[in-house]
Amino acid sequence: MKKLVLAYSGGLDTSYCAHYLSHQEGYEVHAVTVNTGGFDAEELATIKAKALELGAATYTAIDAVQTFYEKVVKYLIFGNVLRNNTYPLSVSAERIVQALEIVAHARQVGATHIAHGSTGAGNDQVRFDLIFQVLAPEIEIITPIRDRKLAREAEIEYLQSHGIPYSWEKAKYSINKGLWGTSVGGEETLGSRKALPDHAYPSPLTTQDPQTLALEFREGEPVALNGKAGHPAAIIQELETLASAYAIGRDIHVGDTIIGIKGRVGFEAASALITLKAHHLLEKHTLSKWQQFQKEQLANFYGMLLHEGQYLDEVMRNIEAFLLDSQRKVSGTVYVRLHPYRFELEGIESENDLMNARFGSYGEMNKGWTAEEAKGFIKILSNPGRIAHHIENPS
């Protein structure tokens, strides 16, 4: 039997793949779940049982939460990366690490084939295949959903015809949960007009009373929440638990897909959005305007390449080096006020705060220069404009 590693999440597409590839195509299927923060131990146990029931020869759960943070999320925070100023790259960032781990596992078990459940109309097919083809060109890629052009209804019908219960109601919304947010796709997001209903989002509103959180950063990384220190990934998860109870971070992203069509997807990413906005505020207090300007250009480019699956290009390492160096002074505490469906940034405390009253208070008092010096500065600053105006209007 041909040995095949299947990227397995337990959802409809990968459930179909597990059964079809093992029972219809005769592969020895080794199902792998790369956990980037979306599953707890109980959920993984359920996914394992289901994979084996569907025909997988083995099942492996790889804990990649820390890897995901160190390889990707850390740099998304450093760069304040939001796709189209909206989406924190929740799923697209995960897919890169999942692909890297799947290649490593395929090599470990001696697989000749790798399979995933992507369709032919989305971004994930590109992200997975790019990583697989660069790192393991000798391993053949199998994609039943894409190759057979299957609709979700056809997948459900196939599973039901083989005695596997799977309801359309369960498959109505596609949920992808991870450390950096949860994507939500459904009938509403296939068009441009409709919003997702409240029940489509996994985290309902359960807390009404506002509260203020203290989120501490050290050299750009979140290191403590309300005075309790921890690994950045753990801080992000704890913040998600607190903020998702307020149903914070819901939105719909509209963007240009890698394959050239427009795409629309809902998401909830309370922790990611709060962390990014808090980090950005701290940077505005601790970095120069030119540091912020250059960071914005490079970070936007970094986010675009990551979204399009180009993680392995060496330019990504170059940008990461710049982003890492830019964080040397980005340390301090940001105070965040949580409300139902929204949050506000109250302010920051930092030893590196460049808003230092010794040099003057904006709009109030100048302490580091005289009035005459200010007048001279402004006069010289006006020179290019005055010269151009005189040439254009000689009279």
> Quick one: which H or E segment has residue 124?
helix 124-135
- pLDDT at residue 247 is higher than 90: yes
Segment 96-103 mean pLDDT: 98
Nearest to residue 349, comparing CAs of 242, 231, 221, 214? 214
Same domain, 171 and 186: no
Instruction: Tell me which of 129, 161, 176 is where a domain ends.
Output: 176
Task: Calculate the CA 66 to chain-centre distance.
Answer: 14
Question: How do residues 257-271 score in pLDDT, each as one tens digit?
Answer: 999 999 999 999 999
Same domain, 329 and 362: no
C-alpha to C-alpha distance for 116 and 34, rounded to whole angstroms: 12
Same domain, 217 and 160: no
Same domain, 327 and 365: no
pTM of the model: 0.95
Q: What is the CATH number of the domain that holds 197?
A: 3.90.1260.10
Question: How do residues 322-363 score in pLDDT, each as one tens digit?
Answer: 999 999 999 999 999 999 999 999 999 999 999 976 666 777
How many domains does one find in the chain? Answer: 3
Amino acid at 220: G
Domain span holding position 254:
178-349
Label residue 179 exposed, middle or buried (CB < 10 Å: 0-12, 13-18, 19+): buried
Q: What is the mean pLDDT of the chain?
A: 95
